[in-house]
Structure 1
Amino acid sequence: MKPTWIITANAGRARIFEQATLTEPLQEIEDMVSPGAKQSISEVVTDQAGPTAAAKSGHNINSGNQAPGIAHNANSGAPNKQYQPAVTPAEQEADRFAKDISAYLLKAKEEGRFGQLVISASPQFLGTLRSNIDSNLKDLIKSEFNKDYTHFNGPQLREQLQALKDKQE
């Protein structure tokens, strides 16, 4: 029987443990750190949010170059409006890291290194990981927990996951 891999992760770190049998201790086989976790936001984002482009465009509603009554994106030129990206740099980095984890797991699956997955991740990162995990891995997920145990060693992790499993039953 192939071992079970237990992944504990957050947006900055993922640790992968192997459980060969139910009685053997967990063995840590990988400790992944997001490259962006070591960078400050100013290193990730080089440009600051600035005024919207229309604010300095010189366009003015009914300035003579438009037909009367035509409002051309009136709010876009409002002063002091700041552009806000739909996805923050931290969210982009978490998304990238989740894809890296998925790629690592997919390669390991293709090599036949595990048969089942147990995932424990911080609540925010669990959703990101779910949406980025390869579809070929989804059937192998035995359990998911929305807890960040990246700072626990093997015996502590086993104990915490067993307690969570007992609560669910």
Structure 2
Amino acid sequence: MPTTWTIAANAGRARIFSDADNAASLKEVEDLVNPAAQQRVLDIVTDKMSPRSAQNSGHNIGGGQGGGFQHAAPAGAQGNDYQPAVTPAEHETQKFAKDVSNYLQQAHQAGRFQQLVISASPEFLGVLRTQIDPQLKSLIKREVNKDYTHSNGQELRAQLDAHQDKSA
């Protein structure tokens, strides 16, 4: 019988359970934690000067007497309207999803599981989907859009079974 791993995850934590021994409770095999999820955004962002902030400093970059490069904003651009495409918190969430995906990939290659059930908070589930390798995606037998990271193995199994009954 194939071993199924069940993942209960959110942006701060991914708990991985196994049903290898077919007990009433799932057995926890790994607890991955994203320490950046506990940090404030100000602690994640570095204090290095970006090219955008250098542009407003009035200093030349890269040389002496007129030989340096002067930053200039595009025509019509304001100096303080820059919005990053991804916030620091979103970037850390993407990195954590990639770490979870890499862990799963290595475990699958080692033959530790053959099927996956993923239960994750809606936000993290979307990010995790973008990071999971296509080979792993083919192993997913069910996805649940709920955060059950605070559940133990027995509670998780009961909640997933109840969720399956509602969707059937």
TM-score, normalised relative to structure 1: 0.81
State the structure with more CA Rg: 1
Preserved contact between residue 6 and residue 119 of structure 1 (Cα < 8 Å) = yes
Per the TM alignment, residue 6 of structure 1 is displaced from its structure 2 partner at its CA by 0.2
Per the TM alignment, residue 22 of structure 1 is displaced from its structure 2 partner at its CA by 4.6
| Structure 2: gaps spanning 5 or more residues | 59-72
Instruction: Name the residue aligned to 1:62.
Output: none
Preserved contact between residue 24 and residue 154 of structure 2 (Cα < 8 Å) = no
Identical residues among aligned pairs (%): 55
Per the TM alignment, residue 46 of structure 1 is displaced from its structure 2 partner at its CA by 2.0
* Ranges of 4+ aligned residues in structure 1 off by more than 4 Å: 48-57
Query: Could you say what secondary structure the match of 2:93 adopts?
Result: helix
Instruction: Name the residue aligned to 1:26.
Output: 26
Per the TM alignment, residue 41 of structure 1 is displaced from its structure 2 partner at its CA by 1.5
Preserved contact between residue 14 and residue 32 of structure 1 (Cα < 8 Å) = yes
| Structure 1: gaps spanning 5 or more residues | 58-71
Instruction: Name the residue aligned to 2:45.
Output: 45
CA deviation vs aligned residue, 1:34-66 (integer Å, no higher than 9, x gap)? 131232212210249998776677xxxxxxxxx
Preserved contact between residue 2 and residue 113 of structure 1 (Cα < 8 Å) = no
Preserved contact between residue 49 and residue 84 of structure 1 (Cα < 8 Å) = no
CA deviation vs aligned residue, 1:59-107 (integer Å, no higher than 9, x gap)? xxxxxxxxxxxxx94430x36x332101001110010000000110011
Per the TM alignment, residue 20 of structure 1 is displaced from its structure 2 partner at its CA by 1.9
Distance 2:46 2:108 in 1: 37
- Between Structure 1 and Structure 2, how many residues are aligned? 153
Distance 2:150 2:98 in 1: 22
Instruction: Name the residue aligned to 2:118.
Output: 119
Q: CA RMSD in A?
A: 2.3
Distance 1:101 1:168 in 2: 27
Instruction: Name the residue aligned to 1:90.
Output: 89
Instruction: Name the residue aligned to 1:133.
Output: 132
CA deviation vs aligned residue, 1:105-141 (integer Å, no higher than 9, x gap)? 0111011111100000000000000000011101100
